Amino acid sequence: MRYDVFFAGYGGQGVLLAGNLLSYAAIHEGKNVSFFPAYGVEKRGGAAMCTIVFADGDTGSPVVGNPSVSVLLNQLSFDKYAAKVKQGGICIVNSSLVDTSAVALPGVEIIMVPMNQIALDMGDVRMVNMVACGAYIEKSGALLKESLEAALKKALPERNHKLIPANVQAMEAGALAARG
């Protein structure tokens, strides 16, 4: 089985960390992984995106034209990339920041998750990427929640390990919201 997911948002939303996290989780499950990042030269506020491909065998192209699943965290990413989602694919949208009304996506399942709101309710808007990861594993079924927990230990520096329980809760909340 070969899975691909495209994450996009603006710099500071944790798009690249989310991609790293999913990659570590996939490695934890014994998969081969490619993580292909692209981001603006700005530290915050520029565009940030990454494509993650994981498979039991060869991951093939690190570049994906029509992703099976896209997770879009801001309006700009939605306007630019929502139409690229593959027919029969899933588009997970941060409804706190994105208005989808102007765009119709026939053949694509749109999942609205108020990611900023959920993260804020849990105490910190910076957990928006964890909410997004939770929504992704819920809708794709591609990775186990336990693998993401293990991945947090690998992807985060030791000094931040105390934050892992809160991040796991944020993932669970994201999953719950995506379940609808």
Partner 1 sequence: MQAAALEKIFVKGNEAVAMAALEAGCRCYFGYPITPQSDIPEYLSRELPRRGGEFIQAESEIGAINMLLGASATGVRAMTSSSGPGISLKQEGISYMAGSELPGVIVDIMRAGPGLGGIDASQADYWQATRGGGHGGYRIIVLAPASVQEMYDLTMMAFDLSDIYRIPAMVLADSVIGQMKESVIPNPRPVTVLPPKEWVVRGREAGEAQNVVKSLYLGDGEMEKFHWKMAARYEELAEKECRWEEVQTADAELIVTAFGSVARIAKTAIAMAREAGMKVGLMRPITLFPFPKKAYAALSERCKLFLDIELSTGQMIDDVRLAIARDAEVAFYGRPPGAGSLPTPEELFEQIRKNYPTHA
Q: Provide the binding-site residues for partner 1, judged by CB under 8 A.
A: 20, 23-24, 27, 31-37, 58-66, 154
The distance of closest approach from Cβ of residue 35 to partner 1 in the complex, given in angstroms and rounded to an integer, is 4
Q: Pull the structure tokens for residue 3.
A: 């899975």
Question: Helices 164-179 and 128-140, interaxial angle, to 10°?
Answer: 50
Write down the residue that tokens 């399942």 correspond to.
109
Contact 151, 33 (CB under 8 A): no
The distance of closest approach from Cβ of residue 41 to partner 1 in the complex, given in angstroms and rounded to an integer, is 9
Q: Select 45 or 62, whichever has its Cβ closest to partner 1.
A: 62
Q: Select 31 or 139, whichever has its Cβ closest to partner 1.
A: 31
Write down the residue that tokens 């879009």 correspond to.
72
Q: Pull the structure tokens for residue 144.
A: 């186990």
The distance of closest approach from Cβ of residue 74 to partner 1 in the complex, given in angstroms and rounded to an integer, is 19
The distance of closest approach from Cβ of residue 11 to partner 1 in the complex, given in angstroms and rounded to an integer, is 16
One-letter identity of residue 73: L
Q: Select 61 or 160, whichever has its Cβ closest to partner 1.
A: 61
Q: Select 26 or 72, whichever has its Cβ closest to partner 1.
A: 26
Contact 5, 36 (CB under 8 A): no
